[in-house]
Chain A
Amino acid sequence: MAPRKSKKKAAVPVDPDARRSQWLKGLLEICILGVLSGGEAYGYELLQRLDEAGLGSIKGGTLYPRLAALEASGLVEVEWRAGDGGPGRKYYHLTPLGQSTRIEAAAEFHQFSTVVDGLIAGDTQRKTSA
């Protein structure tokens, strides 16, 4: 087993991977809802779809606790299905609440990301009173 890594917290990480990781903490669940709106999936399959969509490689240790949270909050439901001679797989699919939450979040995030894009790009100008 590899030694434990020390956890350092930084306001804006200098390392691009650490920045991505920071953003993912807030966005992964919404991305999962988005993937599941295209069809049900089991955990490993979900990771592959997120990777193929361009989100990059995500560890199982990041994914499964978020799936457990989504399940506990009623946004996704699970169904166990037997495999070909192997043990069952746990498939996730959106509930009606998950679907409506995804639609709401998509609209809100579009607005939010537009604002953040502008701020990061330095496009804002100080409003001065005439």
Chain B
Amino acid sequence: MTNEATLPPNVEQYLGAVREHLALRGVPAATVGAQIQELKNHLVDSGADPVAEFGWPDTYAEQVADAIDTPGWVRWARPALAYISTALLMLGITVIAGGPVAPGGPLRHCVG
């Protein structure tokens, strides 16, 4: 019987990577969850090494995305949106931290 407590760290790491790559390719959350549970059961039943059994996480995720026909634009748009939102977040942090806000504004020098 499947017992998740017996999963070795490399299996948890592998499943986490598959989860991430499936989500990046726009696979619906319910399908991602079902895939992870199914892979977990399989690995417990077979005792197989995850990479030997399923291949590399990105390759496996791509095959699943292909199989369920995730639209191509979703697959490239998701990583692009993630990149843009990270860039905006970093810009926001820079502004809050007192970085340059108004180009051409007065320069102030604080000499302690």
- Nearest CB in chain B: distance from A22 CB, A: 16
CB-defined contacts of A1 to chain B, threshold 8 Å:
51
A-side interface size class: 20 to 34
Chain A residues in 8 Å Cβ range of B35:
64, 68
User: What is the distance, in angstroms, from B91's C-beta to the closest C-beta of chain A?
Assistant: 36
Sampled A-B contacts (28; CB under 8 Å) = A2-B52, A4-B56, A42-B41, A43-B42, A44-B41, A44-B42, A44-B45, A59-B54, A59-B55, A60-B39, A60-B42, A61-B55, A61-B63, A64-B35, A64-B42, A64-B54, A65-B63, A65-B66, A66-B67, A68-B68, A69-B68, A71-B68, A78-B34, A83-B1, A84-B1, A86-B2, A87-B4, A90-B34
Option from A60, A68, A90 in Cβ contact (under 8 Å) with B54: A60
Give the Cβ gap from B30 to chain A, nearest Cβ, in Å.
11
Q: Range of interface residues on chain B?
A: 20 to 34
Bits for A54-86, please: 1 = Cβ < 8 Å to B, else 0: 000001110011101101100000101001111
- Most A CB contacts (10 A, CB to CB) among B40, B45, B51, B69 go to B45
In the A-B complex, the 7 residue pairs with the smallest Cβ-Cβ separation, listed nearest first, are: A61-B54, A69-B67, A86-B2, A65-B63, A68-B67, A65-B67, A61-B55
Q: Is the interface of B mostly helix, strand, loop or mixed?
A: helix
Contact with A along B69-96 (1 / 0, CB 8 A): 1000000000000000000000000000
Question: Apart from A59-B55, A60-B54, A64-B39, what 13 extra A-B contacts exist at CB < 8 Å?
Answer: A43-B42, A44-B46, A60-B48, A61-B59, A64-B54, A65-B66, A68-B31, A68-B35, A83-B1, A87-B41, A90-B34, A90-B37, A90-B38
- For B14, the closest partner residue in chain A by CB is A1
B residues near A, CB below 8 A? 1-4, 31, 34-35, 37-42, 45-46, 48, 51-56, 59-60, 63-64, 66-69
Q: Which of A79-128 contact B (CB under 8 A)?
A: 80, 83-90
Q: Give the A-B pair count, Cβ closer than 8 A.
A: 73
By a CB distance below 8 angstroms, the chain B residues around A88 are: 37
Residues of B near A85 (CB, < 8 A) are: 1
